[in-house]
């Protein structure tokens, strides 16, 4: 069976706890399916600044490049808020995206029926929600130059540059259409073409790519309208594709459809090297070390790794089934308390999901024998 090398970058805050939970679930998958996962650890973010004086040490980059996939926790926290810009934890996150060419960020948004009441929206609006946000991750205003603060004639100014090349837009839009072809065959391209030149180019390229996918519907939507429609009628969406900053904002908004940021996984896919998997949530320093964090987003990110990087579909389904089973049984971490059920710790949720993974795979093996 398979032997896979995984770089684990816990990062800061609850990143340490949730990645530990995901690793435990992956170990359970390995035991039941006969795979060997080798986990090697590296620093990133604030922890890397403390240990190595930089948010992304060269040793961490080397480890990632030599691995089959990367599992990341979260970065940041108030401890480093006063640091100069080049020593902010978030710089490590942006740098690893650029260095590994992680151009496509996939953020699935699913509302489990049993968690519909945890959403601030009415249950009938969110039940059945199932779409993917495809966010361009290595271009746009987060990477454009010039960027910075200057003082001219005694006046302080700041500038950030939103820059996109046609080829950058084309490859992310193509990714969205390819995904949609295997889903409900609809792509919503989100831009601000009524104001931004970059968005007008984005819209033109989306139209060009759409011609190569005649079986997939393309619609354009301005970002302010998209933000409203996510709340008004979220079930209309299948695959949303958008640029870096818009995708960052919209995906956080969409997390409320599932009831909590702690439920949303993500995959950042590379064009040439290992891909990176991480929960959408941040480092939540206010609950770090309290055994309260929701590990599900990290665990579902590991399931995405199994499917997308390793081609282990059955194993990914086992993890996803185990998460659903734990939730259906009424287990809830504190962030999911509005939906009712029994409040459990991070470790208790991880153990329950591990047990369900083992049960699921054992049943699957028995069924295979008698098929």
Q: Is 85 annotated as a binding residue?
A: yes
Maximum CA extent, the chain? 81
Q: Is 347 annotated as a binding residue?
A: no
The whole-angstrom distance between residue 291's C-alpha and the CA centroid of its chain comes to 22
Q: Quick one: how many helices (H) and strands (E) in the chain? A: 12, 14
Q: Is 263 annotated as a binding residue?
A: no
Q: Is 90 annotated as a binding residue?
A: yes
Q: Is 79 annotated as a binding residue?
A: yes
Give 3-state DSSP helix, strand, coil % of the chain, rounded to 5. 50, 25, 30
Q: Is 44 annotated as a binding residue?
A: no
Choose the catalytic residue: 192, 277, 335, 354.
192
Q: Is 289 annotated as a binding residue?
A: yes
- Whether 248 is a known active-site residue: answer yes
Q: Is 224 annotated as a binding residue?
A: yes
Q: How far apart are CA 166 and CA 139, in angstroms?
A: 11
Q: Is 342 annotated as a binding residue?
A: no
**Burial state string for 203-228 with b = 16 or more CB within 10 A and e = fewer than 16:** bebbeebbeebeebebebbebeebbe
Q: How far apart are CA 362 and CA 354, in angstroms?
A: 12
Q: Is 202 annotated as a binding residue?
A: no
Asked if residues 335 and 325 have their Cβ atoms less than 8 Å apart, the reply is no
Q: Is 287 annotated as a binding residue?
A: yes
Q: How far apart are CA 168 and CA 271, in angstroms?
A: 11
- Whether 224 is a known active-site residue: answer yes
Choose the catalytic residue: 130, 160, 252, 359.
252
By the 10 Å C-beta count (0-12 exposed, 13-18 middle, 19+ buried), 75 is classed as: buried
Choose the catalytic residue: 191, 238, 248, 335.
248
Q: Is 271 annotated as a binding residue?
A: no
Choose the catalytic residue: 50, 113, 224, 328.
224
Q: Is 108 annotated as a binding residue?
A: no
- Whether 252 is a known active-site residue: answer yes
Choose the catalytic residue: 103, 142, 164, 277.
142
Residue numbering of the annotated binding site for Mg(2+): 224, 248, 252
Which segments are annotated as binding site for substrate? 97, 107, 135, 224
For the annotated binding site, the residues are 77-90, 97, 107, 135, 224, 248, 252, 282-294
Active site residues: 142, 192, 224, 248, 252
- Known binding-site residue numbers for NAD(+): 77-90, 282-294
């Amino acid at each position: 069976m398979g032997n896979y090398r995984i770089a684990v970058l816990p990062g800061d805050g609850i990143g340490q706890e949730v990645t530990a939970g995901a690793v435990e679930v992956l170990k359970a998958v390995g035991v039941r399916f006969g795979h060997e996962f080798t986990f090697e650890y590296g620093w990133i973010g604030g922890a890397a600044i403390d240990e190595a004086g930089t948010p992304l040490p060269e040793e961490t980059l080397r480890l990632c490049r030599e691995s089959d996939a990367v599992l990341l926790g979260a970065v940041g926290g108030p401890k480093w808020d006063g640091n100069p810009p080049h020593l902010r934890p978030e710089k490590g996150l942006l740098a690893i995206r650029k260095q590994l060419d992680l151009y496509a960020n996939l953020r699935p948004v699913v509302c489990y029926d049993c968690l519909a009441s945890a959403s601030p929206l009415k249950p009938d609006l969110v039940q059945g929600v199932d779409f993917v946000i495809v966010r361009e991750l290595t271009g746009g205003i987060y990477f454009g130059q010039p960027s910075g603060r200057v003082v001219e004639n005694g006046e302080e100014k700041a500038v950030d540059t939103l820059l996109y090349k046609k080829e950058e837009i084309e490859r992310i839009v193509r990714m969205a259409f390819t995904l949609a072809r295997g889903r409900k065959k609809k792509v919503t391209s989100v831009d601000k073409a009524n104001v931004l030149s970059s968005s007008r180019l984005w819209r033109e390229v989306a139209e060009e790519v759409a011609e190569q996918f005649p079986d997939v519907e393309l619609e354009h939507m301005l970002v302010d309208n998209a933000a409203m429609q996510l709340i008004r009628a979220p079930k209309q969406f299948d695959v949303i594709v958008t640029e870096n900053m818009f995708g960052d904002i919209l995906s956080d908004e969409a997390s409320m459809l599932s009831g909590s940021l702690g439920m949303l996984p993500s995959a950042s896919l590379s064009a040439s090297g290992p891909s990176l998997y991480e929960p959408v949530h941040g480092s939540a320093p206010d609950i770090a070390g309290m055994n309260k964090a929701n590990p599900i987003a990290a665990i579902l990110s590991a399931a995405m790794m199994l499917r997308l990087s390793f081609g282990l579909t059955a194993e990914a389904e086992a993890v996803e089934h185990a998460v659903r089973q734990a939730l259906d049984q009424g287990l809830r971490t504190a962030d999911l308390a509005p939906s009712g059920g029994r409040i459990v710790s991070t470790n208790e949720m991880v153990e329950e999901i591990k047990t369900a993974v083992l049960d699921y795979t054992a049943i699957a093996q028995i069924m295979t024998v008698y098929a």
